[in-house]
Structure 1
Amino acid sequence: MVEKLSDEETALLQAVACWLSEEMHSHLGSLSPAPDLLHDLAQSNYEISCSALERVGLLASEGHYWRVLEPNKNQPTLGNSYKRCDLDHLLDGLACHSHYVNNLYQHQEAVTPTRHALREVCVSLAACGYMEATSKRTFEWTDDFGPWLVRHGAWDLDEFEPASQEEVNEALATIPAQSREWLSGSLCRHKPDFVRCFFAQWIDGKWEEREWRHAPSDDWDLSLAAGLYAQLHSQ
């Protein structure tokens, strides 16, 4: 995977970071004990988003709270030294939090952003191929953003055509027996959990026993995942 960000990806990182920062302050600020502290309420969309904002230097974990490092929540200052994995984590926060955003929660429908910050996100997503602008005001998700949407249950894995039996068998042959048993077990029966667990260790077309990735990425082959899930959970 190429870690260096393109100009379009850099603009996307900036847009998502600004929007997520604004969202976290808006949702969590009134519940916090001080203006520069946020509590994520142990809720996944806040936990993932705050963790992603920590990666780009806008928050810092401090006990049970997140310390606000950048006081200007609408126009935070970001550097230029970020990597593709930092963007992946921000997109993970975007996808998870989207279930709680009026303009985004209907993931099969066109998106019509009503606020400037979210429109900037949509424009940047379209520039990277994750959305398509269908008019001056509306956008639609593309399959390229499927890894993030499937991971968070916004799209179903069954919407992707399964890989061939030959491809599925080739992949299964490279996965250790214990890991195959785990992937076919109850902990991976829920499809968003299955793709998370499979792609955490399926990296660059092979199984990596000693690695674990925490965020979706462009190299998630959802057709392969659909074929593997159908075979491993056929009973």
Structure 2
Amino acid sequence: MRILLVEDEPKLARFVRKGLVEQSFQVDVATDGLAGHELARSNPYDVLVIDVNLPKLNGIELIRRLRAESNNTPVLVLTALDRTDDKVSGFEAGADDYLVKPFVFRELLARLRSLHRRGTNSGSSNPLIRVGDLELDVTHKTVSRAGTPISLTSREFQMLQYLMEHTGQVVSKFDIAEHVLNQKAESSTNAVEVYINLLRRKIDKTFPSPLIHTVVGMGYVLRP
């Protein structure tokens, strides 16, 4: 797995890089947002690990630029900012996961492997899933509704795929947290809510009828 680490704290960058290299990862390090942007544009990475408080270009703006350039490489935000608003900002910018400092290296490793695994293995035997006028192509990682292409981050794509594979079934926040985010903690349900809202903006907001519905006290269901 090839990783880009964008981190301006030298001691932490050395620690993370050393640990990942010992796990046979290839790791490039950038110490500011502009350098990280240039490396991410110029090289094929499996996962990007990006701090928020970076010199020259902060991490949130870096993620926004990459997504605007159709760079859909999975992004893990690694930061000391732990407020819910900070996490929402990261997810809205296009991040796929969020890990707060200080962290246990083993958890970082598990999350990186999860992002990589979910980005390369669809887990579906059907390469093309249709629900009403919504179409998801598992093989080519594309989504469209009524013929209009919709750009999703890696995690948004995984969540939509999970909902479409369970069309007509109510899935709880805990189900989504476990099967999509690969997390079981109750706090993960906040991240699920954020992603559902992001999906609704892209999948439902500009179309005449919503596909993602809330079942109060139970979870969500996707139905035409």
Superposition TM-score, scaled by structure 2 size: 0.28
Q: Which has the higher helix share?
A: 1
The one of the two structures with greater contact order (alpha-carbon pairs below 8 A, sep at least 6) is 1
Larger Rg belongs to = 1
| Higher share in strand | 2
